[in-house]
Structure 1
Amino acid sequence: MAKVTEPQTQKATGASRVYTILRDEILTMKLAPGTALDEIGLSERFDLSRSPIREALVRLSADGLVSILPNRSTIVSQMDFRRIPEFLDALDLLQRVTTRLAALHRSPLELADIRTAQKAYEKAIANCVKTGTSQAMIEKNYDFHMAIAKAGHNVYFADLYRRLLEEGRRMLHLHFEFQTLDEHMTAEEIGRDHTQIVDAIEARDADLAEELAHRHAAQFKGRFMQFLDRNITASMTLTYPQAQP
């Protein structure tokens, strides 16, 4: 029996390792959108057969982080900046509804889980400000908002919100990288919105919880659009026709 399961265990472990490493590299933009992911090259890099590599790529595809093309080649999924306003509007709506429902329906245990996620987020913020790496903060931000969605007791809203948060991880990385460039930005200031949201959920003040969630989303939208304006347009080369003598 051991001889049968051991290779399967090694395969699963290898695929999980490849998945975790590539996922982190995609989310932190070390692997830029559109980058080709060659199975042979990845096999050599990770010293694995192509089977666990392919399994990891399938998982990343399910997360929306890579795209498997009709010719069976694989690339890091593109980011469609034209649709970002639509994404941010949807995020605002889902964040409002899940936070409102959490204020109405959360149990004491779920509130404790939200508080725990909030503390973990605050710790990750402090580390991000100190080290300049945002990955842990992005993960803890996801955990925090999903703890709120779970407390809302609506699996459909929670699933839609999860998909938005997953899709937006790379945007969050860009946003947090931009946010931490502000030398006056502190960990307390970054985490203040979350603290206020949790207090409203604890007080079961649904109107305030929804309003704070909206402000939080609107603030993210404003900062991210500011980031795009400073970084995307700054890289564009402008050419003008020569003036006629």
Structure 2
Amino acid sequence: MSEDGEPRRLKGTGWRFAYDTLRDEILSLALEPGQLLDETTLADRFGMSRSPVREALIRLAGEELVVTLANRSTIVAPIDVIGFPKYVEALDIAQRMNTRLAAELRTDADLKAIARRQKDFEASVKGGRHLAMSLANKEFHMAIAAAGRNPYLAGFYERLLDQGRRMLHLHFQYIERTRDGYLLTDEHAAMLEAIRDRDVSRADALAHAHTRQFRNSFIDFMKENYSFSVPLDSPDKA
């Protein structure tokens, strides 16, 4: 780290350094939704020309983490609260299907990989680092998806998990502050047990409940902090 707290940049890292730094700051909400990202200011901050900064922003746009406006300025992508019910509906389907397939098709090696990712998540919870927690949560679920042996469903699931990481941070913050809920660790352990037992029906039910718990905490957070309501019509269907 430099004296001013900025990570030291190694020579030759270029756009990758800017990309990694901005991506972490966007996912952790250190850069707020809607915040302007000025190329010149960022270039000065990172001690590089505007070209690698522009490349980093292009790659972030490809992940839907930044948006280029009509006037060519770039902002941190807003969190689509209005579209949240549709997002969580898709997440529910992907989560249930991948978890069902894992329970049906898993190998002993898959179980070891999932258990290892679960331990990583528990360690990140103890550390209280939300960025590490959201990454470990994604890797736990992607280990489950890998056990399901369907790369198309796994790819769709991974994109949804990436899109939801900022909302997951708000979820973590809410349940830590209110103590109304828990940080997913018990649910993860139960899902692993169902997959180990090849209990497809229980794996499906737990994956569905897992989505609902995330959805409910996020909506409670929004109700507490904002003056509008979000429809609650999904994913309550069995």
> How far apart are 1:113 and its partner, in Å?
0.7
Query: What residue is the counterpart of 2:82 in the other structure?
Result: 82
Contact kept? 2:14, 2:48, Cα under 8 Å: yes
Looking at structure 2, the residues matched to 143 and 32 of structure 1 have their Cα atoms a distance apart, in angstroms, of 24
Query: What residue is the counterpart of 2:147 in the other structure?
Result: 151
> How far apart are 1:73 and its partner, in Å?
2.2
Letter in 2 for 1:67: V
> How far apart are 1:211 and its partner, in Å?
0.6
Query: What residue is the counterpart of 1:101 in the other structure?
Result: 101
SS of the residue 1:101 aligns to: helix
Does residue 165 of structure 1 match 2:161? yes
Greater share of helix:
1
SS of the residue 1:82 aligns to: coil
Query: What residue is the counterpart of 2:63 in the other structure?
Result: 63
Looking at structure 2, the residues matched to 232 and 85 of structure 1 have their Cα atoms a distance apart, in angstroms, of 17
> How far apart are 1:186 and its partner, in Å?
6.3
| Alpha-carbon displacement from aligned partner over 1:72-102 (angstroms, at most 9, x marks no partner) | 3211111221111111111111110000001
> How far apart are 1:195 and its partner, in Å?
0.1
- TM-score of the superposition, structure 1-length normalised? 0.85
> How far apart are 1:228 and its partner, in Å?
1.0
Which structure 1 residue ranges, 5 or more long, are not aligned? 1-8, 235-245
Pair 80,185 (structure 1): closer, same or farther in 2 beyond 3 Å: closer
User: What RMSD over aligned residues (CA atoms) do the two structures have, in Å?
Assistant: 1.7
| Alpha-carbon displacement from aligned partner over 1:111-134 (angstroms, at most 9, x marks no partner) | 111110000001111111xxxx41
Return the index of the structure with the highest Cα Rg. 1
Query: What residue is the counterpart of 2:25 in the other structure?
Result: 25
Contact kept? 2:175, 2:182, Cα under 8 Å: no
Which structure 2 residue ranges, 5 or more long, are not aligned? 1-9, 229-238
Q: For 1:31-50, what aligned pairs fall within 5 Å after superposition?
A: 31-50=31-50
Residue-pair matches, total: 219
> How far apart are 1:223 and its partner, in Å?
1.3
SS of the residue 1:72 aligns to: coil
Looking at structure 2, the residues matched to 223 and 174 of structure 1 have their Cα atoms a distance apart, in angstroms, of 9
Query: What residue is the counterpart of 1:127 in the other structure?
Result: 127
Letter in 2 for 1:107: T
Does residue 141 of structure 1 match 2:131? no
SS of the residue 2:103 aligns to: helix
- Aligned partner (choices 191, 199, 203) of residue 209 of structure 1: 203
